[in-house]
Amino acid sequence: MGNPRPVFAAEVEGLGSSRPLGESGAAGRLRRAIGDVEWLCWRREALEGLEPGASCAARYRLSRNRAGRIEAEVLDARPSERENVARGPMFPTGLPMEHAAP
């Protein structure tokens, strides 16, 4: 059995740039100072409303792909909202990201 993989939450930039992955998914790259990270999302609708290059709040899991590089599986993403800055990022469940279940 084992433990489930941890789910991380963070403000990220550049997640909106994507290419189709199969019938319902999307994939892309996050640009970072120490190198790019590939990401994929199996539910394209989870990325709706994201502008390419804009920052967003995202929940994701990390793993290694077949080539051995780190890859992020995006579970949830939404545009950042200024009104949520005081209380922290929120997801559609109404829970802060650090308390949202995977």
Is 50 exceeded by the pLDDT of residue 101?
Answer: no
Q: What is the rounded CA–CA span in Å between residue 30 and residue 35?
A: 9
Residue 40: its pLDDT value, please?
92
The span from the CA of 71 to the CA of 98, in Å, is 21
Which domains are seen in the chain, by residue range? 10-82 (2.40.50.140)
pLDDT at 100: 46
Residue given tokens 């789910």 in the structure block: 7
DSSP 8-state code for residue 39: E
Which amino acid makes up residue 95?
L
Span 35-62, pLDDT tens digits? 788 999 999 888 888 887 778 888 999 9
Residue 56 one-letter amino acid:
C
pLDDT at 5: 87
Look at residue 94 and tell me whether its pLDDT is greater than 70.
no
Identify the residue with better confidence: 80 or 20: 20
